[in-house]
Amino acid sequence: MLKSIDVKILKVFVGEAARHKGRPLHEAIVEEARQRGMAGASVCRGFMGFGAGSLLHTAKILRLAEDLPVIVEIVDTPSRVESFLPVVDAMVEEGSIVMQDGQAVFHLPLRIRDVMTEHVATVDIRTPLPAVVDLLLRREVKAVPVMDGRNIAGIVTGGDLLSRARMPLRLDMQGQLPFEQRCEQGAASGFAGLVAQDIMSSPARTLNIKTDVVDALKIMAGKNIKRLPVTADDGTLLGIVSRTDVLAAIAKASSVAGHLEILPPGLHSTARDALFTDVPTAGPDTPLADILDQLVRSPLRRVVIVDAERKVLGLVHDWDLLRSFVQKESPGLVARLVRALTSQEPGLPALEGTARDVMTTRVVTARTDAPLAHVIGTLVEKKIKRIVVTDDDGRLLGIVDRDAVLKALARL
């Protein structure tokens, strides 16, 4: 069954002799649409017509050099046409621009332009590092392209802040701290005098806006890249795409187009194919000091709470622990906890309480035979990075995370 979608039809009526920066206007519009990854553009040349000046033009024999009417027609999704409209409007000095609603069936590969975030937060190469961190926290994003004029000079990610600027906590955990302690963390991290250019990853790996989603998936999975700026053919920054964007697009496409070749080869795998079994566990009465020790030693940064039969009861994230002591208004203990979580000092602080006091009981789970498409849909819908995998009786078998899902999809 064919599936149609809502579209906008953009028609631009201009004269054949119209120019933009020395070239035929219709050619300039088509080239701009191509560079920006629009679905397509067609140009029709009329054989008779007149415009606002009421001067009649015709293509009769021996009069082929007249300024005949030209129509540029572009069909794409409403949001993309509406974002392209100001570009066309700035190019057309004399003519008409018409917008129409419509329905269409696109037989096209799924491209990055369909899934990227268009309104990208950016910083300049000279932006002070505290301002970069403030922007990331305010916008709730994990990376920001660094611009040198109109060119992408690099990208600052949460990993860059941790490894090159000695920021003690991940961005998602910084948001758990009170403002005063967040400022103290920034002051102690060595940000003083640093600007974006000092710690950015450069040159930034980018994706062309016409890249297939499956190709982007393979790049991200193969290079372990979480976010990539998206550019036009001339290098102009047009958006940014994350692993979550790619997974969301695949999940959506699989629900309506499971038989099409636009989907990655590993989509019909199961959770078993992406299972991580080395998962730290504890009982609900395990002291928090022991929980903290496991959190520090595990790359998962979470402990699954199980009963005597390994049935899943809850989950403790590192930020669950931090948030608990922030709420108790124990600034000294929070400071020690931060240093412990970031391995900045030997020994662990003495924490009172047990796993039961801080654990999350609403645990998202899946079975090992769950199709990868279902797992992806759950990751996207719940906005989580990992899913606990259990058997039919609810006993822990492992965890599936986004990195493993990407590799399973790409069959790497």
Residue 33 has pLDDT above 50, yes or no: yes
pLDDT band for position 322 (50/70/90)? confident
- What are 236-249's pLDDT values in tens digits? 999 999 999 988 88
Residue 349 has pLDDT above 60, yes or no: yes
pLDDT band for position 87 (50/70/90)? very high
Side-chain-side CA neighbours of residue 402 (13 Å):
21
pLDDT band for position 61 (50/70/90)? very low
- What are 102-158's pLDDT values in tens digits? 987 766 567 888 788 888 999 999 999 989 988 998 888 999 999 999 899 999 998
Q: Model pTM?
A: 0.70
